[in-house]
Amino acid sequence: MPEYVAPRGTNDVLPSESPKWEYVEDKFRKTCRLFGYKELRTPTFEYTDLFTRNLGETTDVVSKEMYTFQDRGGRSITLRPEGTAPAVRAYVQHNLGASLPVNKIYYVGRIFRYERPQAGRYREHTQLGIEALGSIDPAIDAEVISLAVCFYRNIGLKEFELKINSIGCPECRPKYRQALVDFAKDRLERLCPSCVRRYEQNPMRMLDCKEQNCQSALVDAPKLIDYLGPECREHFEKVQSYLRDLDISFVIDPKLVRGFDYYTKTAFEFVSGKLGAQNALGGGGRYDNLVEEIGGSPTPAVGFGLGLERLMLTIESLGIELPVEIGITAFIASMGEKAHMAAVKLAYELRNKGVSVDMDYTGRSLKAQMKIADKLGAKYAIILGEDELARQAATVRNMASSEQITVSLSELADTLA
């Protein structure tokens, strides 16, 4: 074991793997742009009260998972444990609502949660997220969901399930909450200690518990969708009808509650059977009161966050081949000092003309340099020796066929292109 290793629950993405990650991130960005979303970049850390006051005090994230510390100025700072509150903070701070009625933003960012690490659950993860702020139209809920579906399909992922629910609004929830509490009252001894606490503080969160005993104790619990008021019910029905119009299949999961208190109405999650216990590929929903709570004027909104690490695990376990280009066009092998000096110049010239090129910096034998060219996935090796230099030419070797031709240095870029 080396002396220094990455902190528990974090991951390194090595250069051999990173082209796949770049590819997926790039597809996400392109999909967002197709749907009219633009990137918002916010800081990795925020003042702590943005999260403590707006995500829900009793949520797992706020009560036990935040990376919070005092900075040298004595301010309480938290590494962002999710992306929605920071996006809304920026929306309000920069008054984005004044310039456009609907603001559609996306982000790719690192998220920090002090969770117990296991496959698919890390202390630092990456979220690909979007937020659409400014519309109450159920069509935009469907747009948000369809963007995720389109993105997953664009990278070749077809095996996932979309679960949806409506968790109502502050008007319909109290009645449901009471019904749930009444139901759970006689079953408390079957619940885990966390759920007993949830029963007191935030009963709906019991529905989300992964413990088998809790799930079976609550299997017949009342369903929130049966308690929705007319407005929430109509909204939920319209979202479903739009999804059907878009040919997006879904199942209604009455127990889907999501992990933050800001959600209202639509809640959804994408799950993959390939992920084991941490099966949520991504999730989101509507949060019609958060902008106002953060200090803006009332602005309905909806969005999602998709975990990049879990997506990469799913892609791998399904054996999906991503069409990533990992090789370079050419590797310049040189022999002798003069040729080496010429190689430095040639590499720079070719790169400036848009040809991806690497070269030898170790002074190894030609055979060893060819091996490196092979490892780097070079399509061609450009061999420069004293002879070639004297003729202002290079030998170009096709690495796959071993065919060799001589090309003058001035025509090299065009030939390779």
Report the distance separating Cα 290 and Cα 284, nearest Å.
14
From residue 343, give the alpha-carbon distance in Å to each of 213, 336, 386, 387, 411.
68, 10, 12, 14, 15
Q: Which residue has the tokens 């990795």?
A: 44
Q: Output the smallest distance, CB 50 to ligand HAM, in A.
A: 13
Work out the angle between the directed axes of helices 138-154 and 230-245 (0-180°, nearest 10): 40
Report the distance separating Cα 343 and Cα 351, nearest Å.
12
Cβ atoms within 10 Å, residue 401: 7
Token output for 182 = 């009444």
205 is a contact residue toward ligand HAM (CB under 6 A):
no
134 is a contact residue toward ligand HAM (CB under 6 A):
no
CB of 260 within 8 A of CB of 82? yes
Q: Which residues contact 194 (CB under 8 A, 6 or more apart)?
A: 209
CB of 108 within 8 A of CB of 30? no
131 is a contact residue toward ligand HAM (CB under 6 A):
yes
Query: 126: which strand partners?
Result: 110
Nearer to ligand HAM, 84 or 240 (CB): 84
300 is a contact residue toward ligand HAM (CB under 6 A):
no
Report the distance separating Cα 116 and Cα 65, nearest Å.
9
CB of 395 within 8 A of CB of 383? yes
Nearer to ligand HAM, 298 or 323 (CB): 298
Q: Output the smallest distance, CB 112 to ligand HAM, in A.
A: 9
- Sign of the Cα torsion 96, 101, 107, 111 reads positive
Token output for 105 = 């933003």
Report the distance separating Cα 417 and Cα 399, nearest Å.
16
Report the distance separating Cα 41 and Cα 94, nearest Å.
13
Per CB under 6 A, contacts with ligand HAM among 264-293 are 280-285
Q: Output the smallest distance, CB 395 to ligand HAM, in A.
A: 50
Nearer to ligand HAM, 61 or 228 (CB): 61
145 is a contact residue toward ligand HAM (CB under 6 A):
no
115 is a contact residue toward ligand HAM (CB under 6 A):
yes
Helix (H, G, I), strand (E, B) or coil at 319: coil
Q: Output the smallest distance, CB 57 to ligand HAM, in A.
A: 16
Length of the chain: 417
Per CB under 6 A, contacts with ligand HAM among 309-368 are 309-310
What mask, x for binding ligand HAM by CB under 6 A, covers residues 57 to 96? -------------------------xxx------------
Nearer to ligand HAM, 122 or 380 (CB): 122
304 is a contact residue toward ligand HAM (CB under 6 A):
yes
Nearer to ligand HAM, 199 or 304 (CB): 304
Q: Output the smallest distance, CB 267 to ligand HAM, in A.
A: 9
Among 37, 51, 106, 122, binds ligand HAM (CB under 6 A): 122
- For 291, counting Cβ atoms within 10 Å of its Cβ (0-12 exposed, 13-18 middle, 19+ buried), the class is buried
Among 113, 198, 205, 397, binds ligand HAM (CB under 6 A): 113
Q: Output the smallest distance, CB 132 to ligand HAM, in A.
A: 9
What mask, x for binding ligand HAM by CB under 6 A, covers residues 11 to 40? ------------------------------
Token output for 139 = 């069509």
Q: Output the smallest distance, CB 354 to ligand HAM, in A.
A: 37
Q: Residue of minimal CB distance from ligand HAM? A: 307
Report the distance separating Cα 303 and Cα 283, nearest Å.
9
Q: Output the smallest distance, CB 280 to ligand HAM, in A.
A: 4
299 is a contact residue toward ligand HAM (CB under 6 A):
no
Query: 225: which strand partners?
Result: none
Using CB under 6 A, count the residues that bind ligand HAM. Answer: 26
Per CB under 6 A, contacts with ligand HAM among 209-268 are 259
Nearer to ligand HAM, 287 or 380 (CB): 287
Token output for 29 = 């960005």
305 is a contact residue toward ligand HAM (CB under 6 A):
yes
Picking from 24, 272, 325, 286, the residue whose alpha carbon sits closest to that of residue 143 is: 286
Among 31, 59, 78, 127, binds ligand HAM (CB under 6 A): 127
199 is a contact residue toward ligand HAM (CB under 6 A):
no
Nearer to ligand HAM, 138 or 284 (CB): 284
Query: 131: which strand partners?
Result: 105, 303
Q: Which residues contact 349 (CB under 8 A, 6 or more apart)?
A: 413
- Give me the residues that bind ligand HAM (CB under 6 A), please: 82-84, 113, 115, 120-122, 125, 127, 129, 131, 259, 280-285, 303-307, 309-310
